């Protein structure tokens, strides 16, 4: 409990420092001068000064804990040497993330955006589009290619809380010109290839891989470990089972359901699974019709 006790003491200290120190830095020069002109100038630059000092303060406090932002499975216990430091890193990052006016300004001004992401440990290309309500965390585990686009309200989920008291952490990569649609969700370990598209409202599971120029249409579910190769497309409202492999240049029709752990090498393989589903539905309809006839 010693480590947890220290963290609980540090939490209010971090919060007071992150929010209070920038305020002091901005206000003190204003209070120490009697010049009306200088006060007006300080007042004009106060918002951007506060943003910069806030980012620097939160980022510097996160630095000792960035080495704990690593892949793995960890117990959600403050006494754990990794999770405890993750907790403090998360406190620093979310202080910025949930301060929406400040975060908006930081994302809007390129030099501030670069400073923000770099100080929190992001090492990838900085020329990507992101919005204040795009959920990101664990910046050292993120990699966004040049021109990639992360829509508003998308979730870039580098961590996932498990029911057994652990947390799963892994990186997320979106390569050059990759597109992540509105309200879509990416799980830990996801790889999105160049010019690949994840449509609106798509759920992408753990360790899913989408190849270059692949496309997942809106409202699909791609289960854990699935692999969709280059130039393939999954139609709207479709389900791709866990660890299923879809090879190059294959189109999965809308509203399809592909089982887990199968390999689709050619377009004819898709027709086979659709036929199986159609047969199952027809059998189900026949059974229901019989049940209705018997009860009438």
Half-sphere exposure of 151 (CA within 13 A, CB side): 17
DSSP conformational letter for 259: P
Task: Specify the number of domains making up the chain.
Answer: 2
In a shared domain, residues 163 and 216: yes
* 24 contacts 48 by C-beta, under 8 angstroms: no
In a domain, residue 295? The reply is no
* 93 contacts 137 by C-beta, under 8 angstroms: yes
User: For position 117, what pLDDT does the model report?
Assistant: 98
Measured distance CA(74)–CA(11) in Å, rounded? 20
Q: Find the helix packing angle between 81-97 and 100-108, rounded to 10°.
A: 80
User: For position 287, what pLDDT does the model report?
Assistant: 56
The torsion of the CA quartet 197, 185, 65, 57, rounded to 10 degrees, works out to 80
Residue appearing with tokens 């901005």: 26
In a shared domain, residues 205 and 136: yes
For each of the chain's 296 residues, which pLDDT tens digit applies? Answer: 558 899 999 999 999 999 999 999 888 877 777 787 777 877 777 888 999 999 999 999 999 999 999 999 999 999 999 999 999 999 999 999 999 999 999 999 999 999 999 999 999 999 999 999 999 999 999 999 999 999 999 999 999 999 999 999 999 999 999 999 999 999 999 999 999 999 999 999 999 999 999 999 999 999 999 999 999 999 999 999 999 999 999 999 999 999 999 999 999 889 888 755 545 555 545 556 566 666 65
In a domain, residue 236? The reply is yes
Pairing of β 159-161 and β 166-169: antiparallel
Of 121, 154, 174, the position where a domain reaches its end is 121
User: For position 147, what pLDDT does the model report?
Assistant: 97
Of 77, 102, 121, the position where a domain reaches its end is 121
CB burial of 19-53 (b: ≥16 within 10 Å; e: otherwise) equals eebbeebbeeeeeeeeeeeeeeebeeeeeeebbbb
User: For position 34, what pLDDT does the model report?
Assistant: 78
Q: Find the helix packing angle between 100-108 and 36-62, rounded to 10°.
A: 90
In a shared domain, residues 80 and 169: no
Q: Cα angle at 277 between 274 and 279, to 5 degrees?
A: 110
In a shared domain, residues 111 and 187: no
- What predicted TM-score, i.e. pTM, was given to this entire model? 0.89
Q: Cα angle at 99 between 59 and 206, to 5 degrees?
A: 75
In a shared domain, residues 154 and 219: yes
In a shared domain, residues 92 and 172: no
Measured distance CA(250)–CA(177) in Å, rounded? 21
Domain of 84 in residue numbering reads as 1-121
Strand partners, 228: 210, 246
Measured distance CA(249)–CA(48) in Å, rounded? 49
In a domain, residue 42? The reply is yes
H or E element, residue 159: strand 159-161
Of 92, 121, 150, the position where a domain reaches its end is 121
In a shared domain, residues 57 and 181: no
Written as six digits, the tokens of 17 are 């420092």
Closest CA to 197 of 183, 177, 226: 177
């Amino acid at each position: 409990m010693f480590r947890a006790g220290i963290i609980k003491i540090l939490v209010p200290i971090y919060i007071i420092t992150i929010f209070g120190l920038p305020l002091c830095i901005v206000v003190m020069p204003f209070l120490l001068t009697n010049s009306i002109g200088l006060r007006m100038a300080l007042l004009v630059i106060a918002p951007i000064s506060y943003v910069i000092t806030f980012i620097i303060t939160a980022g510097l406090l996160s630095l000792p804990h960035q080495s704990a932002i690593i892949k793995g499975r960890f117990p959600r216990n403050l006494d754990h040497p990794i999770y405890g430091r993750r907790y403090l890193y998360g406190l620093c990052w979310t202080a910025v993330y949930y301060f929406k006016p400040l975060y908006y300004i930081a994302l809007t001004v390129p030099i501030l955006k670069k400073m923000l992401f770099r100080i929190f440990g992001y090492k990838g290309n900085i020329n990507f589009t992101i919005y204040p309500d795009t959920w990101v965390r664990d910046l050292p585990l993120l990699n966004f290619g040049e021109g990639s686009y992360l829509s508003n309200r998308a979730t870039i989920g580098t961590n996932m809380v498990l029911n057994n008291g652990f947390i799963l952490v892994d990186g997320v990569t979106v390569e050059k010109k990759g597109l992540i649609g509105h309200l879509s969700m990416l799980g830990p370990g996801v790889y999105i290839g160049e010019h690949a598209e994840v449509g609106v409202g798509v759920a992408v599971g753990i360790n899913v891989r989408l190849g270059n120029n692949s496309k997942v249409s809106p409202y699909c579910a791609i289960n854990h470990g699935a692999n969709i190769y280059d130039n393939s497309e999954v139609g709207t409202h479709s389900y791709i089972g866990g660890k299923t492999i879809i090879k190059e240049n294959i189109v999965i029709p809308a509203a399809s359901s592909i089982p887990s752990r199968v390999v689709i090498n050619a377009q004819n393989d898709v027709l086979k699974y659709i036929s199986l589903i159609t047969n199952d539905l027809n059998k189900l309809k026949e059974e229901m019709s019989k049940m209705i006839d018997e009860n009438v």
